[in-house]
Amino acid sequence: MSAKLEERLLTLFILLVVLGMTAVSTGYRAPARLVPLVVGVLTSCLFLGVTVTVFVPRFRRRTQKAEPIPLETFPETWEDEDTEQTAAQRHSEFKIIGSLVVLTAVTYVIGFLPSIFLYVLLFLCFQSKESWWMALAVAGSVLAVVYGVFVQALHVPLHSGIF
């Protein structure tokens, strides 16, 4: 998937969310819907504008020139619209975001302490390509600090899993 397509999908997704929220707000009682409705309509208009600039390159260039605030540095996406992210980057993106989602799910099942140890260990070994010894040392240190600060000192009842 190219960066351009990804951006279009993101913009459309947010636009649909905002439109949906605006539509839903019409069903609330009068005082509760006033501000969400007004903000929702305005935000929908803004995202419609963004959608137009994302889908029609001519408008994108125009807004870029007209706006007083310079663009953030993400040059490959803006300067050359057809540029695709490298396969390696895309792969890495999926792996990192995927690992975060898996970490959350695993934490829910087995609890914080075992899951953070495993996550740091496996991440350092397989993603960062560190040696097992280094990974073990870092994962152990993180576990010790988390246990010392949050469990022992602050008495935070860390989630311990569903079993």
Partner 1 sequence: MFDSELFAATIGTMLGWPGVFYLLSGSVIGMVFGAIPGLSGTTAIVVLIPMTFGMDPVPAMLWLGSAYGASTYGGAIPAILINTPGEPPNAATILDGYPMARKGQAGIALAAAATASTLGGVIGLLVTFLMIPVLSSMIMAFSYQEFFAMALLGLCVIAVVGEGTLLKGLAAGGLGLMLSFIGYDPLTSVLRYTLGIEYLWDGIAVVPALFGLLAVAEITDLLVEQKTIMEPDVEEEEEGQVWEGIKVTFRNLPLVIRSSAVGTIVGAIPGVGGTVAGFMAYMQAKQTCKDNEGFGKGDVRGVIAPEAANDAKEGGALLPTLAFGIPGSSAMAVFLGALTLHGLDTGQDIFLTNLDVVYMLIVALLGSHMVAAVFGLSLAKKVAILTRIRPALYGPTIFVVCLIGSFALRNSFGDVVVTVLFGILGYELRKFGYSRIALILGLLLGTMAETAFRQSLMTDQGMAGFVTRPISLVLLVLAAIIVLAPYVKNYLHRRRRLVGQA
- Contacts with partner 1, residue ranges (CB under 8 A): 3, 6-7, 10-11, 14, 17-18, 21, 24-25, 28-29, 31-32, 34-36, 39-40, 42-43, 46-47, 49-50, 53, 63-64, 67-72, 74, 77-78, 89, 92-93, 96-97, 100-101, 103-104, 107-108, 112, 116, 119-120, 123-124, 127-130, 138, 142, 146, 149-150, 153-154, 156-159
Reduce the DSSP state of residue 158 to 3 states and report it: coil
Shortest Cβ distance from residue 42 to partner 1 (Å)? 6
Helix and strand totals (H; E) in the chain: 7, 0
For residue 162, the minimal CB distance to partner 1 (Å) is 10
Surface-to-core class of residue 50, CB atoms within 10 Å of its CB (0-12 exposed, 13-18 middle, 19+ buried): middle
Between residues 136 and 158, which has the closer beta carbon with respect to partner 1? 158
From residue 134, alpha-carbon distances to 110, 118, 123, 162 in Å are 24, 14, 12, 31
CB of 58 to partner 1, least distance (A): 15
Nearest-approach distance from CB 80 to partner 1, in angstroms: 15
Q: What distances in angstroms separate CA 130 from CA 14, 122, 133, 138, one per listed residue? A: 38, 10, 8, 10
Instruction: Please identify, using beta-carbon distances, which residue of 56 and 159 lies nearer to partner 1.
Output: 159
Place of tokens 């137009």: 52
- In the complex, the smallest distance separating the C-beta of residue 15 from partner 1, rounded to whole angstroms, is 9
User: Tokens at residue 150, please?
Assistant: 């949050």
Cβ-based nearer residue to partner 1, 136 or 138: 138
